[in-house]
A and B are shown apart, each in its own frame.
Chain A
């Protein structure tokens, strides 16, 4: 058990190092420039809305950059190892496919966490530099973003075990987009009243509702997101991530690499 955990941790650490080596965290430089420019310009342009807009930009960038990293790196986590044929010697070692798969997931998850943490720090510093109060409430928007990114990585890994890296990117982006439009599915009968309610319910249930992870606007307006809400969102994310990771693992285990 302990050995398995150590091996998973080793894969995760290696994945983190690899993603740093792939200059994933370069987006932080762009983020820093974005926040600096926003901090300098918004006071003059936005008419009294600079704090809200700074938070919107900061949180939006975290969500957007995070999603891009989760999709593009996530789909390459497994497929690149296969393409480069580096997976075969790895699996020949005392390393199970499960440990490899979960280690990759954990490694990218940690990369995203570091990325978000640094960006959050940047946003807080920008707020302070522009004479605003650092808002601890921002954490209640960043945490659900992180949960959504973990789910995105899980989908990316699932699709990368099923198909080519390019198609996996397309499919993952599709799922994320459909998930962000989940409210359209829920309100489908408003535009198509003929659709039976059970079908609407079924469709809504099988689509991950990424809107559940979006508290950016509420937090930017200074609203408090309760611990209860965050708890349920965590449970929702955990359930979906476990299901998708489980399916991905099953698919990865079933693949014949000969």
Chain B
């Protein structure tokens, strides 16, 4: 290499990190994955990679996870438009990839901004998984949980749990949970048991974190109910509702901080005496407030 060429390379080389820094500065260091999917049909992709379907499924699964993470963290619109086709392509290429059904359903079902907020599609994905892997009791268990948690359908959830319990090797508690659901029609305690199961079954990662958050939300709702109980006690004693929740502490009816598990103060409606989670809190979910928290 001539000296002149070496000098030229040395001069040009710093332009690479310099221009990258400028680009990052202008459009952001982390950018959501481009919303482009060249093939929308798993069958078409399958025909393009004969003998390498499983490997292609892995690549599509990695892309699904990255797309989900990118949309969740960096996208402005967070429409998760490609999520369902990516999951469908992945599971068409490798129908035995159980994780794609289970995690894909969570990605689809969780309400925005955590997920796509399409629980019926999440349930469809799980139904596809149950058809592809009829011996998997965990997929049926998830299907039941999703019917109950996201679609509020305790009856179907109980029926699916019973079907899961019939599968050899299934967990013993599926049958009792099905019976409880059928009897009660569903309550917060059922939800807690389901999320506890998901938490225990998941390894560290998105799903476990999500289950942990869900359990914290349920605990926050319990706390809200307990504070509402203290409000009722205050009203019984004083003949009026407290003007602020801090009056409960002054009256010795509540000793703990008046915040949820995300340390965000609870909202209080003096007109009804109800206590609920603030919309600004990470513990808040549209279906939970201010009425019938489950």
Contacts and interface: CB of A to CB of B under 8 A. Distances in A.
Given A56-B55, A57-B55, A221-B96, A181 B50 contact: yes
A49 B58 contact: yes
A220 B93 CA distance: 14
Residue of B51, B54, B61, B96 with most partner-chain A CB within 10 A = B51
A46 B62 contact: yes
A46 B58 contact: yes
23 contacts: A45-B62, A45-B66, A47-B103, A47-B205, A49-B99, A52-B58, A53-B58, A56-B54, A56-B55, A57-B58, A63-B51, A63-B52, A64-B52, A180-B51, A184-B47, A210-B50, A210-B51, A211-B50, A214-B51, A216-B55, A217-B53, A217-B54, A217-B94
Contact of B50 (A45, A53, A180, A220): A180
Chain A, interface size category, equals 20 to 34
Interface in A23-68: 45-49, 52-53, 56-57, 60, 63-64
A210 B203 CA distance: 38
A130 to B, nearest CB: 15
Contacts of B50: 177, 180-181, 210-211
A64 B61 CA distance: 20
Contacts of B58: 46, 49, 52-53, 56-57
A214 B54 CA distance: 11
Interface string B35-68: 0000000000001001111110010011001100
Contacts of B203: 48
Chain B, interface size category, equals 20 to 34
A56 B60 CA distance: 13
Contacts, number: 55
B179 interface: no
A177 B48 CA distance: 10
Nearest to A46: B62
Interface of B: 47, 50-55, 58, 61-62, 65-66, 94, 96-97, 99, 103, 203, 205-206
Q: Is the interface of B mostly helix, strand, loop or mixed?
A: helix
Contacts of B96: 217, 221
Interface string A196-217: 0000000000000011001011
A215 to B, nearest CB: 11
Nearest to B204: A48
Given A47-B65, A49-B97, A221-B96, 7 more contacts: A47-B205, A52-B58, A53-B58, A56-B55, A63-B51, A63-B52, A211-B51
A176 to B, nearest CB: 9
A48 B99 contact: yes
Nearest to B103: A47
Contact of A47 (B51, B54, B55, B99): B99
Contacts of B61: 46-47, 49, 53
A56 B57 CA distance: 10
Contacts of A210: 50-51
Contacts of A216: 51, 54-55
A214 B58 CA distance: 17
Nearest to A182: B50
Nearest to B94: A217
Contacts of A49: 58, 61, 97, 99
User: Which 4 interchain pairs have the tightest Cβ spacing?
Assistant: A180-B50, A217-B54, A60-B55, A53-B58
